[in-house]
Chain A
Amino acid sequence: MTAEIGVAARAARWVRRFAGDVGDAHVLGTVRIAFGAMLFWQTLELGRDLETRGYFGDAFHVPFVPEAWMPSARVYAGMLAARLLFAALVLVGQAARPALLASSLLGMYGLLCDRVQFHHNRYALYCFAFLLAFTPCHRALVLTRGDAEGPGERLGSLWAQRVAQVQVALIYVASGGSKLFDRDWRDGLVIADRFARYGGEALARGVPAAVVEWFSRPSVTSGLAKLAIATELFLAVGLWLPRTRVFAIWWGVMFHLTIEVTSRVELFTWLTLATYAFFVVPDYRARKLYFDATRPSGAWTARAVAALDWFARFEVRAWSPDGLRGGHSVVVVRRDGTRATGVRAIAMIARCVPLLFPLWAPLAFAASFTRGGEANTRA
């Protein structure tokens, strides 16, 4: 009985936390801008299709919905125009949440009107746009507003962000799981056939023949298939655990950039990278970056970080060099108050700045061999 009460109390606490957790919305504001751009681009592509091929409803199409629910050509063109407007509103942050909801619902409706045009990445874009509409993404980075939001104004409920995190994991489970249960995938036949068919293209692009030949070996394609399956299943779990999260995101970035280089996947790579931001801790300038303004390298680093720190991880400040900081261009103070200098500081910057993030793992690896760079006193 007591155990049952304990479980019920824990469940109730979990539900209250899930529905009531609040956090800073700056990162969600960045995600909203990325989604606005992707929705705009995606709608432009549909507009180009309409211009070059004509309205799909006037030709062969396979709707999921009854034919009577299909829009006329004029209504469809109007829907695309509305979607462009909604995407622009999402991007700038005006009426962003209703615009996200409308964009996602119109997008879903479009997919249901013709399964020939179905693409996983388009469906995923509308799913995440739907969830983003329930986050406080409108509370930060409103581009039409002159001044920056105050800390209190950026706070909002994060329950929909949690659902978006589950959605990311679900995509990896579905994708990795379906490959795991498919013998052709597990054994490497699918990858082997892709290499066999596109090996010629790789050669034409200057990839050495020995490399193409090595990647085409059955043992290698079998190993790569298992690595791809393991990667997807690992990402479904690793993104959730604080200890593995940063590595999971880095590994995922590398995985998706490799796919981007080797395949045509429309917006899928950029969509996935944007959704990784749902796993970024929702705080604001919780780390500090002190720089020596008298040194060009310090001033340059500070300027670069201030410009590229899209998730507002750092409070960037010039300092007057003292005993500890003397001799360093930059000192990073982590969330827990510990300080990093040299390669460790650069690795820390790479970890937090999206454009530099691909460099994080090699830098962190290199930093692990350095003796200095870890000042044990707290800030």
Chain B
Amino acid sequence: MPEQLISRRTLVARCALAAGYLATQLALVATAGARPEHAFGFRMFSESSTVRLHLLRSVEAPSGHGTILVDAPAGSWNARDAAGTVHRFAWRDRVRAPELSTFDVTMHAAYGADAQVARLRAAIVDVARHIPDDAETRELVLDVTIRKNGREAEVVRLRSGAR
């Protein structure tokens, strides 16, 4: 292949850019395990897992003592504000990604179960922060049923923290 006569500065610049680029890529690939979705790590089809989401709300028990968990079917619920007016709330108002906002349906976890759990953990906190008109819900609770690579299902319970 013919060679081009290039200045020393050009040679150094090209080598530095190539070395810097490849070193960054190698570092990102090597550290991909530290990121739940293995971002920038090119780990394609890393697992075959499913998740199933079920949303619950912790509300005051009718007896007035403690709290109970009630279902929020399809991620939606009605609740009163401080003035007693009933409002309709939906998880999907805040979380638009279908893979994080489809309830009671078994779904493929495209980037792995860990990635889904990490995203859902952030999502439940985010949703709980954005329902100021809900004066009834003390805490949001999300049951995530995970089936990793065809193994037995396990349930991970995520909590938004007390509101």
A174 contacts which chain B residues (CB < 8 A)? 29, 32, 41-43
B 35-46 binary contact with A (CB < 8 Å = 1; else 0): 001111111111
Q: Do B39 and A189 touch (CB < 8 A)?
A: no
Closest to A131 in B: B21
Quick check: is A34 within 8 A (CB to CB) of the other chain?
Answer: no
| B: contact size bracket | 35 or more
Residues from chain A with a CB closer than 8 A to the CB of B15 are 15, 18-19
Q: Does A297 contact B (CB under 8 A)?
A: no
Q: Which of the candidate stretches A82-90, A117-125, A141-149 sits at the interface with the other chain?
A: A117-125
Q: Look across to chain B and name the residue whose beta carbon is closest to the beta carbon of A172.
A: B42
**B95 contact set on A, CB distance < 8 A:** 59-60
Task: Report the Cα distance A15→B16, complex, angstroms.
Answer: 11
Interface residue A237 (Cβ < 8 Å from any Cβ of B): no
A197 CB within 8 Å of chain B: yes
- Tell me if A170 and B37 are in contact (CB < 8 A): no
Chain A: interface residue count, which band? 35 or more
Smallest Cβ-Cβ distance to B33: which chain A residue:
A178
**Stretch in contact with the other chain, from A20-28, A36-44, A304-312, A350-358:** A20-28
Query: In the complex, which residues of chain A have a beta carbon less than 8 angstroms from the beta carbon of B34?
Result: none
B59 to chain A minimum Cβ distance, whole angstroms, is 23
Q: How far is the CA of A127 from the CA of B111 in the complex (A)?
A: 20
Q: Which residues of B contact A175 (CB under 8 A)?
A: 42-44
Q: Is the CB of A120 within 8 A of B3?
A: no
Q: What chain B residues lie within 8 Å of A182 (beta carbons)? A: 46-47
Q: Chain A residues with Cβ under 8 A from B43's Cβ? A: 120, 174-175, 178
Residue of A nearest to B151 (CB): A189
List residues 338-364 of chain A with CB under 8 A from any CB of chain B: none
A59 to B122, CA, bound (A): 12
**A170–B42 CB distance below 8 A:** yes
- Contacts A56-B96, A60-B96 given: A190-B11 contact, CB under 8 Å? no
New A-B pairs, 14, CB < 8 Å, besides A19-B10, A117-B97: A18-B18, A19-B14, A22-B3, A60-B122, A118-B111, A123-B39, A123-B40, A157-B14, A163-B22, A174-B32, A178-B46, A189-B150, A193-B149, A282-B1
> Which residues of A are interface residues toward B (Cβ below 8 A)?
15-23, 53-54, 56, 59-60, 62, 64, 115-118, 120, 123-124, 127, 130-131, 134, 155, 157-160, 162-163, 166-167, 170-171, 173-175, 178-179, 182, 184-185, 189-194, 196-197, 263, 268, 282
A selection of 9 A-B contacts at a CB cut-off of 8 Å is A19-B14, A20-B4, A21-B3, A120-B42, A123-B39, A174-B41, A178-B43, A189-B48, A197-B50
